[in-house]
Amino acid sequence: NAGVIQTPRHKVTGKGQEATLWCEPISGHSAVFWYRQTIVQGLEFLTYFRNQAPIDDSGMPKERFSAQMPNQSHSTLKIQSTQPQDSAVYLCASSLGTEYAEQFFGPGTRLTVL
Amino acid sequence: GQQVQQSPASLVLQEGENAELQCNFSSTATRLQWFYQHPGGRLVSLFYNPSGTKHTGRLTSTTVTNERRGSLHISSSQTTDSGTYFCAIDRRYAQGLTFGLGTRVSVFP
B11 and B104 Cβ atoms separated by less than 8 Å: yes
B47 and B59 Cβ atoms separated by less than 8 Å: yes
Average pLDDT of chain A to the nearest whole number: 93
Distance of residue A15 Cα from the nearest chain B Cα, in angstroms: 24
Distance of residue A43 Cα from the nearest chain B Cα, in angstroms: 6
Are the Cβ atoms of A106 and B101 closer than 8 angstroms? no
Average pLDDT over residues B23-31: 80
CATH no. of A21-106? 2.60.40.10
Are the Cβ atoms of B43 and A105 closer than 8 angstroms? yes
Mapped onto helix, strand or coil, the DSSP state of residue A100 is: coil
Residue B77 has pLDDT above 70, yes or no: yes
Alpha-carbon gap, residue A109 to A4, rounded angstroms: 12
A106 and A22 Cβ atoms separated by less than 8 Å: no
Residue B95 has pLDDT above 80, yes or no: no
Mapped onto helix, strand or coil, the DSSP state of residue A98 is: coil
Alpha-carbon gap, residue A106 to A9, rounded angstroms: 10
Nearest to A100 among B35, B43, B90 (CB): B90
Residue B30 has pLDDT above 80, yes or no: no
Q: Which amino acid is at A26?
A: I
Report pLDDT for B31: 82
Closest residue of chain A to B90, computed from CA coordinates: A100
Residue A16 has pLDDT above 80, yes or no: yes
Are the Cβ atoms of B97 and A103 closer than 8 angstroms? yes
Residues of A in contact with B96 (CB under 8 A): 33, 35, 45-48, 56, 58-59
Report pLDDT for B93: 64
Q: Residues A35, A102, A100, B86: what is their CA dihedral angle, to the nearest 10 degrees?
A: -50
Report pLDDT for B65: 83
Alpha-carbon gap, residue B62 to B65, rounded angstroms: 10
- Residue B73 Rama label (left phi>0; alpha psi -120 to 50; beta): beta
Residue A77 has pLDDT above 80, yes or no: yes
Distance of residue B7 Cα from the nearest chain A Cα, in angstroms: 15
Q: What domains can you pick out in chain B, each with its CATH number?
A: 4-108 (2.60.40.10)
Residue A80 has pLDDT above 80, yes or no: yes
